[in-house]
Amino acid sequence: MTTARGLVKVKICGLNDRRGLDAALDAGAAYVGFVFYRRSPRFVDLDQAAALVARVPRPVIAVGLFVDPTDADITMVTDRVGLGMLQLHGNEAPERVDEIKRRTGLPAMKVLGVASAGDVHRARAYEDRADMLMFDARPPPGATRPGGNAVAFDWKLVRSYTGPVPWMLAGGLTRDNVATAIAQSGATIVDVSSGVESNPGVKSPAKIRAFLAAVAAARLG
């Protein structure tokens, strides 16, 4: 997926069946995500996750999404599922991110909800703790989960982030807007979940392939 400034990578999140996973892998996703948050329609149980992650070849990274997990929550998953990275999508403090990394020996990505420039600046507190950041839209009022709400934000805001930590862009991305999102944000990694679904929690192989193709055709602004 070449662009004016190199490679734009894609993470397909919320995978919970073989058809969706195989479409993501065949189309060239660099990251595949599995949700271990029970309130999400994309929740995947341990048996499902273990079987799916076993199909993920190197160098594709299998990412486990957690929301304010306890140590027991994480251990229950990592003892059964061969994850390559943890995605922390709750209110985890920088110190908690560091603790989770030390306990698991896995790299961790911290998700930050964005509605203003101040939200982007919060990333500085995580620069010595997280291995990667994700800038996602803040959940709308009344939302029952912190992400996967098909909500976008002003992508130009993240251009103000100049820290040393690599980051992903998420929030309301689809095949129709991802090129604009890349151009406005400067993102070199994008994450999609609801934008490649036929129904909440049901991944569409055709939409996955179309999204990857749209990223391949995008150009950084």
Q: Residues of 78-101 as b/e, b for ≥16 C-beta within 10 angstroms?
A: beebebbbbbbbeebebebbbebb
Measured CA to CA, the distance from residue 83 to residue 77 in angstroms comes to 9
Contact 121, 113 (CB under 8 A): no
Contact 190, 169 (CB under 8 A): yes
Cis peptide before 59 (omega within 30 of 0): yes
H or E stretch covering 192: strand 189-192
User: What DSSP assignment string belongs to 161-177?
Assistant: ---SS-EEE-SS--TTT
Residues recognised as catalytic: 13, 136
Cα separations in angstroms, 215 against 57, 92, 198, 212: 21, 30, 19, 5
66 burial via Cβ count (<10 Å: 0-12, 13-18, 19+): buried
Measured CA to CA, the distance from residue 184 to residue 156 in angstroms comes to 5
